[in-house]
């Protein structure tokens, strides 16, 4: 039997030289087999090996094809046992394949890859097959599988046909799970004699049915890119989808399947070839990316670094809501980075959403944060930050925030025609900013007697007044909430808005640095 099933305790380390990188046993064997020297690929493989071990999945993978290196000679190797033999389940490619850094692409006409892994090698009632597809296409295409001569034992996966996922493993009947795309990690998973599951990434649909008995074990081999019907003397359902990974092994619990997706998506993200939401290091950033469905790696990295930076500067805990306006759609822009389950924006009026941020039209556009000042805010420690770029100087001024009366309001704003800005955390103040209308403005009430206004992280005015009572109402963005009516709307493209505790001079400066770094990474800094 090939050498799969290595636990972490059996890993040895290999160094490429004094002070050079070290790799786990599986990665080392793959390097030896392929001669690969690309450090990004090797690092990604080593992390994949480590993650599989951490999640307790190494022993469950009988074959795993990472399809890295850009050639058939490298794509063929089984990462769990990187030997160039049938017994090690290395792939044998047939027909028209295109091999590149993004994976292996069959031509959909005569291409398939023989795994040399046959049905007798699966554990009874406990098996999984998977592919990582980079192609979203609908059609009767088999991604991976075989069917026996009697059709009593079928193990195959059609990741999208008539907009559904068809997972069949060790049985005769179709299992159907919802699938709106064939791109991502697709899996057919059996964990008992009566339960088959279709899984796309982490969306799991259980198909419990007594008509899913395990069929007679077959010596037919699993093919990738087509359905092996060699017992019926043919190969059918050739696929045109590009594959960036495939696996064969024991069945996975729901938790294990989710962890396997995390390990695989981390691997693909490192290689810059993931489909869907990238995996990042910070769990709070990941939750936001998942909710907002941010698939762009540059955007995901910027968000992740922003969260890490805010935490490093002890600013994260001071944030009640942060709207980073990334993703280019109203839905993506609506989520609160601090907690996606709280204070999601409701947009009203004329907004334009783009990769550069959210632009309010200066007439009737506002977004309700759902955050009630009276319920959430500390009277003597609160603040608002707006990062924006002027679209039009008409109207001559505008705000985001909450209005109670002419002497009681919470807002940040931009003034144009008279080159002023009126700000307040329950107190008014006026300051000239000159003609530079593009800036980050932070208003911070630091204690019962001090409110400060910051432009791009630097204090420009201090007001020594006591606060007025908190207002019972929600913060609005793009205009003031005046008892449910919009007051002082403005025409500004906003790239970030946040509601937070009061900040001191150092914290305000640090917040500007982190936000400016974030905006610069997205090429939209002002």
DSSP string, 171-216: ESS---EE-S-S-EEEEEEE-SSSEEEEEETTEEEEEE-TT-----
Q: pLDDT tens digits for 279-315?
A: 999 999 999 999 999 999 999 999 999 999 999 999 9
Cβ–Cβ under 8 Å, residues 82 and 29: yes
Domains 8-270 and 283-521 share a fold: yes
Give me the pLDDT at residue 5, please: 33
Residue stretches of the chain with pLDDT short of 50 = 1-15, 17-18, 210, 212-213, 215, 417-423, 426-427
| 320 contacts 500 by C-beta, under 8 angstroms | yes
Model pLDDT, residue 173 = 59
CATH classification code of 8-270: 2.60.120.200
What sign for the dihedral angle of Cα 473, 475, 479, 480? positive
pTM: 0.86
Do residues 340 and 333 make contact, with C-beta atoms less than 8 angstroms apart? no
How far apart CA 314 and CA 317 sit, in angstroms, is 7
- Residue showing tokens 């696929």: 239
Residue 462's contacts (CB-CB under 8 Å, 6 or more residues apart) are 450, 451, 452, 453
Packing angle, helices 25-34 and 39-54, rounded to 10:
150
On whether the CB atoms of residues 53 and 8 are closer than 8 A, the answer is: yes
Tens of pLDDT, residues 311-351: 999 999 999 999 999 999 999 999 999 999 999 999 999 99
Q: Is 309 helix (H, G, I), strand (E, B) or coil?
A: helix
Predicted pLDDT at 219: 75
- In the chain, where are the structural domains located? 8-270, 283-521
Asked if 100 contacts 70 with a C-beta cutoff of 8 angstroms, the reply is yes
Closest by Cα among 366, 448, 356, 449 to 411: 366
Q: Regarding beta strands 480-482 and 397-405, do their DSSP bridges make them parallel or antiparallel, or are they unpaired? A: parallel
Q: At 296, list the tokens.
A: 């762009």
- Asked if residue 175 lies in contact with residue 167, where contact means CB atoms within 8 angstroms, the answer is yes
| Look-up of token digits 């390990």 | 263
Q: Which pLDDT score, from 0 to 100, does residue 450 have?
A: 87
Q: Which long-range contacts (CB under 8 A, 24 or more apart) does 343-348 make?
A: 343/369, 343/370, 343/371, 344/370, 345/369, 345/370, 345/477, 346/370
283-521: in CATH 2.60.120.200: yes
| Cα distances (angstroms) measured from residue 22 to each of 28, 59, 185, 270 | 9, 22, 29, 18
HEC readout, 390-404: ECCCCCCEEEEEEEE
């Amino acid at each position: 039997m090939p050498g799969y099933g290595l636990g972490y305790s059996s890993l040895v380390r290999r160094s490429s030289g004094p002070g050079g990188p070290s790799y786990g046993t599986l990665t080392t064997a793959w390097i030896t087999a392929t001669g690969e020297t690309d450090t990004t690929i090797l690092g990604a493989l080593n992390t994949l090996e480590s993650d599989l071990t951490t999640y307790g999945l190494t022993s469950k993978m009988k074959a795993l094809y990472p399809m890295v290196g850009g050639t058939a000679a490298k794509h063929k190797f089984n990462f769990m046992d990187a030997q160039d033999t049938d017994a090690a389940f290395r792939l044998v490619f047939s027909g028209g394949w295109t091999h590149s850094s993004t994976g292996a692409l069959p031509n959909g006409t005569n291409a398939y890859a023989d795994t040399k892994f046959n049905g007798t090698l699966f554990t009874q009632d406990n098996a999984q097959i998977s592919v990582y597809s980079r192609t979203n296409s609908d059609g009767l295409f088999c991604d991976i599988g075989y069917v026996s001569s009697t059709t009593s034992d079928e193990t195959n996966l059609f990741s999208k046909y008539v907009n559904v996922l068809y997972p069949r493993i060790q049985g005769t009947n179709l299992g159907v799970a919802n699938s709106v795309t064939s791109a991502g990690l697709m899996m057919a998973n059996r964990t008992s004699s009566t339960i088959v599951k279709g899984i796309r990434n982490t969306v799991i649909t259980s198909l419990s049915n007594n008509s899913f008995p395990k069929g007679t074990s077959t010596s037919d081999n699993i093919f990738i890119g087509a359905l092996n019907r060699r017992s019926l003397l043919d190969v059918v359902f050739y696929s045109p989808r590009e594959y960036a990974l495939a696996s064969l092994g024991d069945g996975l619990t729901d938790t294990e399947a989710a962890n396997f997706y995390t390990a695989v998506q981390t691997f693909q993200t490192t290689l810059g070839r993931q489909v869907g939401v990238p995996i990042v290091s910070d769990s709070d950033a990941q939750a936001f990316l998942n909710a907002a469905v941010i698939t762009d790696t540059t955007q995901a990295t910027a968000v992740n670094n922003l969260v890490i930076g805010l935490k490093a500067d002890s600013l994260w805990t001071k944030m009640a809501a942060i709207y980073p306006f990334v993703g280019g759609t109203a839905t993506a822009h609506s989520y609160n980075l601090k907690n996606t389950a709280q204070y999601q924006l409701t947009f009203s009026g004329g907004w334009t959403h783009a990769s550069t941020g959210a632009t309010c039209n200066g007439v009737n556009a506002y977004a309700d944060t759902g955050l009630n000042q009276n319920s959430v805010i500390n009277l003597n420690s609160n603040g608002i930050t707006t990062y924006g770029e002027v679209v039009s100087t008409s109207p001559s001024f505008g705000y985001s925030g909450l209005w109670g009366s002419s002497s009681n309001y919470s807002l940040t704003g931009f003034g144009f025609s008279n080159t002023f800005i009126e700000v307040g955390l329950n107190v008014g103040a006026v300051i000239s900013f000159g003609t530079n209308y593009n800036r980050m403005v932070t208003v911070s009430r630091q204690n019962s007697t001090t409110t400060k206004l910051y432009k791009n992280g630097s204090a420009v005015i201090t007001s020594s007044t006591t606060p007025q009572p908190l207002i019972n109402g929600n913060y609005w963005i793009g205009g003031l909430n005046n008892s449910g009516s919009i007051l002082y709307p403005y025409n500004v493209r906003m790239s970030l808005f946040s509601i937070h505790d009061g900040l001191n001079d150092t914290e305000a400066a640090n917040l500007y640095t982190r936000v400016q770094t974030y905006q610069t990474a997205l090429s939209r800094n002002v």
